[in-house]
Amino acid sequence: MEQHSKESTRVRLIEAAMVLFARNGLDGVSLRAVNQAAKAKNSGATHYHFKNRLGLIRAMVEHINTATPSEVDLILSSLPIGDDEQLKAIASFFSPVLVMRYLRPKGEDALGFLSQLLQSHDPNIQAIWEPVFGRGKKKDLQRIFDVFPNLDSIVIKRRLIYSTLNIVHGLANDSGLHRTMFGDLSMSDGPETLVDLLQYIRGGLAN
Protein backbone atom coordinates (compact mmCIF):
# COMPACT_ATOMS: atom_id res chain seq x y z
CA MET A 1 0.00 0.00 0.00
CA GLU A 2 2.81 2.41 0.90
CA GLN A 3 4.64 1.64 -2.36
CA HIS A 4 1.43 2.24 -4.33
CA SER A 5 0.97 5.58 -2.56
CA LYS A 6 4.54 6.63 -3.39
CA GLU A 7 4.07 5.72 -7.05
CA SER A 8 0.75 7.55 -7.18
CA THR A 9 2.37 10.68 -5.74
CA ARG A 10 5.24 10.40 -8.19
CA VAL A 11 2.89 10.22 -11.18
CA ARG A 12 0.83 13.16 -9.87
CA LEU A 13 4.00 15.23 -9.56
CA ILE A 14 5.06 14.33 -13.10
CA GLU A 15 1.66 15.17 -14.56
CA ALA A 16 1.47 18.45 -12.65
CA ALA A 17 4.96 19.37 -13.85
CA MET A 18 3.93 18.53 -17.42
CA VAL A 19 1.22 21.18 -17.37
CA LEU A 20 3.45 23.78 -15.72
CA PHE A 21 6.45 23.23 -18.00
CA ALA A 22 4.26 23.20 -21.11
CA ARG A 23 2.74 26.56 -20.20
CA ASN A 24 5.61 28.35 -18.46
CA GLY A 25 8.77 26.89 -19.99
CA LEU A 26 11.50 24.77 -18.46
CA ASP A 27 13.05 27.67 -16.55
CA GLY A 28 9.80 29.14 -15.31
CA VAL A 29 8.77 26.42 -12.86
CA SER A 30 10.11 25.68 -9.37
CA LEU A 31 9.95 22.37 -7.52
CA ARG A 32 7.74 24.10 -4.96
CA ALA A 33 5.28 25.09 -7.69
CA VAL A 34 5.13 21.47 -8.88
CA ASN A 35 4.52 20.32 -5.33
CA GLN A 36 1.66 22.78 -4.90
CA ALA A 37 0.09 21.97 -8.28
CA ALA A 38 0.13 18.25 -7.46
CA LYS A 39 -1.40 18.97 -4.04
CA ALA A 40 1.26 16.80 -2.42
CA LYS A 41 0.86 16.48 1.33
CA ASN A 42 4.61 16.51 1.92
CA SER A 43 6.08 19.93 1.10
CA GLY A 44 9.31 18.27 -0.01
CA ALA A 45 7.72 15.53 -2.13
CA THR A 46 9.16 16.72 -5.44
CA HIS A 47 12.68 16.88 -4.02
CA TYR A 48 12.21 13.50 -2.35
CA HIS A 49 11.19 11.75 -5.58
CA PHE A 50 13.43 13.52 -8.10
CA LYS A 51 16.21 15.31 -6.13
CA ASN A 52 16.34 18.32 -8.47
CA ARG A 53 14.88 19.89 -11.62
CA LEU A 54 16.97 17.74 -13.98
CA GLY A 55 15.91 14.61 -12.13
CA LEU A 56 12.28 15.64 -12.57
CA ILE A 57 12.77 16.34 -16.28
CA ARG A 58 14.48 12.97 -16.74
CA ALA A 59 11.54 11.18 -15.11
CA MET A 60 9.09 13.14 -17.26
CA VAL A 61 10.93 12.23 -20.46
CA GLU A 62 10.80 8.55 -19.55
CA HIS A 63 7.13 8.89 -18.61
CA ILE A 64 5.99 10.29 -21.97
CA ASN A 65 8.20 8.05 -24.11
CA THR A 66 6.31 4.88 -23.32
CA ALA A 67 4.22 4.11 -26.41
CA THR A 68 3.28 0.44 -26.24
CA PRO A 69 3.30 -1.82 -29.33
CA SER A 70 -0.50 -2.10 -29.10
CA GLU A 71 -0.86 1.72 -29.07
CA VAL A 72 1.45 2.05 -32.08
CA ASP A 73 -0.52 -0.67 -33.92
CA LEU A 74 -3.78 1.13 -33.11
CA ILE A 75 -2.49 4.39 -34.60
CA LEU A 76 -1.05 2.74 -37.70
CA SER A 77 -4.10 0.54 -38.35
CA SER A 78 -6.43 3.56 -38.17
CA LEU A 79 -4.75 5.30 -41.11
CA PRO A 80 -6.38 4.97 -44.56
CA ILE A 81 -3.07 4.88 -46.45
CA GLY A 82 -3.35 1.51 -48.17
CA ASP A 83 -0.05 0.26 -49.57
CA ASP A 84 1.69 3.64 -49.57
CA GLU A 85 5.05 2.52 -48.19
CA GLN A 86 6.37 6.05 -47.76
CA LEU A 87 3.45 7.11 -45.58
CA LYS A 88 3.68 3.85 -43.63
CA ALA A 89 7.37 4.45 -42.93
CA ILE A 90 6.76 8.06 -41.88
CA ALA A 91 3.86 7.05 -39.61
CA SER A 92 6.01 4.40 -37.96
CA PHE A 93 8.85 6.85 -37.36
CA PHE A 94 6.56 9.44 -35.77
CA SER A 95 4.25 6.95 -34.02
CA PRO A 96 5.40 7.89 -30.45
CA VAL A 97 4.40 11.51 -31.07
CA LEU A 98 1.09 10.47 -32.65
CA VAL A 99 0.32 8.15 -29.75
CA MET A 100 1.13 10.97 -27.34
CA ARG A 101 -1.24 13.37 -29.09
CA TYR A 102 -4.17 11.15 -30.02
CA LEU A 103 -4.28 8.33 -27.45
CA ARG A 104 -3.02 9.78 -24.17
CA PRO A 105 -5.43 11.69 -21.90
CA LYS A 106 -2.83 14.40 -21.19
CA GLY A 107 -1.28 14.27 -24.64
CA GLU A 108 -1.39 17.99 -25.37
CA ASP A 109 0.45 18.79 -22.15
CA ALA A 110 3.05 16.11 -22.94
CA LEU A 111 3.58 17.58 -26.40
CA GLY A 112 3.82 21.06 -24.91
CA PHE A 113 6.53 19.79 -22.58
CA LEU A 114 8.29 18.04 -25.48
CA SER A 115 8.11 21.26 -27.48
CA GLN A 116 9.90 23.06 -24.64
CA LEU A 117 12.57 20.33 -24.56
CA LEU A 118 13.25 20.68 -28.28
CA GLN A 119 13.69 24.43 -27.91
CA SER A 120 16.16 24.16 -25.04
CA HIS A 121 19.86 24.78 -25.72
CA ASP A 122 20.85 23.60 -22.26
CA PRO A 123 23.34 20.74 -22.83
CA ASN A 124 22.23 19.05 -19.61
CA ILE A 125 18.65 18.90 -20.83
CA GLN A 126 19.67 17.82 -24.32
CA ALA A 127 21.74 15.03 -22.76
CA ILE A 128 18.56 13.76 -21.07
CA TRP A 129 16.09 13.67 -23.94
CA GLU A 130 18.23 12.93 -27.01
CA PRO A 131 19.22 9.36 -26.02
CA VAL A 132 15.71 8.53 -24.83
CA PHE A 133 13.87 9.67 -27.94
CA GLY A 134 16.57 8.23 -30.18
CA ARG A 135 16.13 4.82 -28.56
CA GLY A 136 14.75 2.19 -30.90
CA LYS A 137 14.75 4.52 -33.94
CA LYS A 138 17.40 2.66 -35.95
CA LYS A 139 14.90 0.32 -37.61
CA ASP A 140 12.40 3.11 -38.35
CA LEU A 141 15.16 5.31 -39.76
CA GLN A 142 16.38 2.54 -42.06
CA ARG A 143 12.83 2.12 -43.30
CA ILE A 144 12.75 5.81 -44.21
CA PHE A 145 16.04 5.41 -46.08
CA ASP A 146 14.58 2.45 -47.99
CA VAL A 147 11.45 4.28 -49.21
CA PHE A 148 13.38 7.42 -50.19
CA PRO A 149 16.30 5.76 -52.02
CA ASN A 150 17.24 8.79 -54.07
CA LEU A 151 17.89 10.99 -51.04
CA ASP A 152 21.18 11.19 -49.19
CA SER A 153 20.94 9.82 -45.63
CA ILE A 154 22.27 13.05 -44.13
CA VAL A 155 19.65 15.05 -45.99
CA ILE A 156 16.93 12.70 -44.71
CA LYS A 157 18.14 13.00 -41.11
CA ARG A 158 18.26 16.78 -41.35
CA ARG A 159 14.76 16.95 -42.79
CA LEU A 160 13.43 14.57 -40.15
CA ILE A 161 14.76 16.92 -37.49
CA TYR A 162 13.02 19.86 -39.17
CA SER A 163 9.82 17.82 -39.47
CA THR A 164 9.97 16.76 -35.83
CA LEU A 165 10.30 20.36 -34.68
CA ASN A 166 7.39 21.49 -36.86
CA ILE A 167 5.10 18.59 -35.98
CA VAL A 168 5.67 18.71 -32.24
CA HIS A 169 5.26 22.49 -32.05
CA GLY A 170 2.21 22.33 -34.34
CA LEU A 171 0.42 19.59 -32.42
CA ALA A 172 1.29 21.19 -29.10
CA ASN A 173 -0.24 24.48 -30.23
CA ASP A 174 -3.17 23.21 -32.25
CA SER A 175 -5.48 25.77 -30.63
CA GLY A 176 -3.72 28.48 -32.65
CA LEU A 177 -5.44 27.16 -35.79
CA HIS A 178 -8.91 28.08 -34.56
CA ARG A 179 -8.50 31.59 -35.97
CA THR A 180 -6.51 31.93 -39.16
CA MET A 181 -6.76 33.96 -42.35
CA PHE A 182 -8.57 30.93 -43.82
CA GLY A 183 -10.97 30.49 -40.91
CA ASP A 184 -11.04 27.62 -38.41
CA LEU A 185 -8.38 25.09 -39.40
CA SER A 186 -8.03 23.40 -36.02
CA MET A 187 -7.24 19.72 -36.22
CA SER A 188 -9.86 17.09 -35.65
CA ASP A 189 -8.97 13.70 -34.26
CA GLY A 190 -10.00 11.83 -37.40
CA PRO A 191 -7.66 9.62 -39.43
CA GLU A 192 -7.92 11.95 -42.44
CA THR A 193 -6.22 14.66 -40.40
CA LEU A 194 -3.39 12.30 -39.54
CA VAL A 195 -2.94 11.41 -43.21
CA ASP A 196 -2.82 15.11 -44.05
CA LEU A 197 -0.08 15.46 -41.44
CA LEU A 198 1.89 12.54 -42.93
CA GLN A 199 1.55 14.02 -46.41
CA TYR A 200 2.97 17.28 -45.09
CA ILE A 201 5.98 15.44 -43.66
CA ARG A 202 6.50 13.54 -46.92
CA GLY A 203 6.52 16.80 -48.85
CA GLY A 204 9.23 18.12 -46.52
CA LEU A 205 11.31 14.99 -46.97
CA ALA A 206 10.97 14.49 -50.70
CA ASN A 207 11.16 18.06 -52.06
| pLDDT value of residue 4 | 42
| pLDDT value of residue 2 | 46
For residues 45 and 145, membership in a common domain is answered with no
Residue 131 structural domain: 69-206
For residues 135 and 194, membership in a common domain is answered with yes
Strands (E), the chain: none
**Spatial separation of the C-alpha atoms in residues 142 and 49, rounded to whole Å:** 38
**Number of domains present in the structure of the chain:** 2
- 64, 99, 118: which is the final residue of a domain? 64
For residues 34 and 78, membership in a common domain is answered with no
β-partners of residue 180 are 183
| pLDDT value of residue 168 | 87
Q: Enumerate residues 6+ apart whose C-beta is below 8 A from 49.
A: 6, 9, 10, 13, 56, 59
| pLDDT value of residue 1 | 41
Q: CA nearest 194: which of 132, 57, 101? A: 101
For residues 89 and 47, membership in a common domain is answered with no
Coil, strand or helix: which one is 152? coil
**Spatial separation of the C-alpha atoms in residues 141 and 146, rounded to whole Å:** 9
For residues 78 and 177, membership in a common domain is answered with yes
pTM, entire model: 0.81
Count other C-beta atoms under 10 Å from residue 204's C-beta: 15
Contact 45, 38 (CB under 8 A): yes
**Spatial separation of the C-alpha atoms in residues 21 and 34, rounded to whole Å:** 9
- 64, 84, 116: which is the final residue of a domain? 64
Q: Enumerate residues 6+ apart whose C-beta is below 8 A from 153.
A: 145
List, as one string, the DSSP characters of 109-164.
HHHHHHHHHHH---HHHHHHHHHHHHTT-HHHHHHHHHHSTTS-HHHHHHHHHHHH
Question: Residue 175 gets which letter from DSSP?
Answer: G
Q: CA nearest 14: which of 27, 85, 31? A: 31
For residues 178 and 86, membership in a common domain is answered with yes
Coil, strand or helix: which one is 52? coil
| pLDDT value of residue 137 | 82
**Spatial separation of the C-alpha atoms in residues 203 and 45, rounded to whole Å:** 47
**Residue 165: CA count within 13 A, CB half-sphere:** 9
**Spatial separation of the C-alpha atoms in residues 62 and 59, rounded to whole Å:** 5
Kindly give the parts of the chain with pLDDT less than 50: 1-4
| pLDDT value of residue 8 | 87
For residues 73 and 160, membership in a common domain is answered with yes
